[in-house]
A and B are shown apart, each in its own frame.
Chain A
Amino acid sequence: MFSQALLAWRPFIDPINVHETWFLLLVPLALGISVVYKAIRVKTMDRYWFNVLLMTSQVVVGMIGLAIAFYVLVEVVVKQAAAR
């Protein structure tokens, strides 16, 4: 009965299944933040979309960098420190 209810997914009412791919949602999140932030931040709208895409890529690259740094910290540095 529960599985039948899950199959009948209703958009905007039931959650989507992103348990395995949730990290991909970082890109639309960064894009949405950039669209609004740059809309009130830029002085002129001439290079608006360039600024939006630049900020989006900076956020995404920054998050990937942080993820790599924490991965190294947890998987390498902490393990080596624990082994000593």
Chain B
Amino acid sequence: MTDDTNQAAVRQEPEVFQPMAALLAFLLPGLGHWYLGERKRAVYILIGVLGLFFGGVFIGGISCVDSGLVYHNWVKGLISKFTKSRADLEQAEGDPIWFLGQAMVGPAALATDYMHQYHFKVRESVQVSGATRTVYKTAGPNQYRDPATGEARAITDAATQHPPYIKGLGRPAELGTLFSTIAGMLNLMCIIDAGFNRRRRGVA
């Protein structure tokens, strides 16, 4: 079948939502198109989205992916409402609005944020209206992260102790955040394209 006849036949097909393709596209960029048999497109989407996302992390460092645990707390609050238990909320500084875009990259972005919050930030317990709240924050330039407790300690031996990461500032931070957020926004387009694939194109 030529491209023209293929497209003519395809245009007559009703638009059908394909939830499996959309879900797979969220789980790994390009996987939705791979599932639909468009393998060349899938590879280019994978390279493009993950290249932009990890390119952003390379430029701005891990600090450019920072949910600030806002959504984490929402989920915890929701669960506590259903279970009628008290939620142990955590607090962190972050860029939750930018993270909304970055999260569209899928588990790669969620895992990067998880690593940032729980393995690179230092933790501190504070009392908020009678309850203990754990606060996660960036270690200072003269602090290191105690691997056992996750708390900040003053650096006494510069050869073996160093800050868990340097927080990106200025242009590197801006560009890192921009790259990784654009990656998420592009993957959202790919998720929609996979979910509502009308087959108007010739299969690659």
Contact = CB atoms under 8 A, between A and B. Distances in A.
Contact of B59 (A4, A16, A39, A48): A16
B21 to A, nearest CB: 12
Interface residues of A, number: 33
Contacts, number: 121
Contact of A40 (B45, B62, B171): B45
B49 A36 contact: yes
Q: Is the interface of B mostly helix, strand, loop or mixed?
A: helix
B171 A12 contact: no
Interface in A15-51: 15-19, 22, 25, 28-29, 32-33, 35-40, 42-45, 48
Contacts of B3: 43-44
Contacts of B183: 32
A36 B190 contact: yes
A42 B201 contact: yes
Contacts of A33: 48, 52, 182, 186
Contacts of A48: 40, 44
Nearest to A25: B175
A37 B58 CA distance: 22
A36 B55 CA distance: 14
Interface of A: 1-2, 4-6, 8, 10-19, 22, 25, 28-29, 32-33, 35-40, 42-45, 48
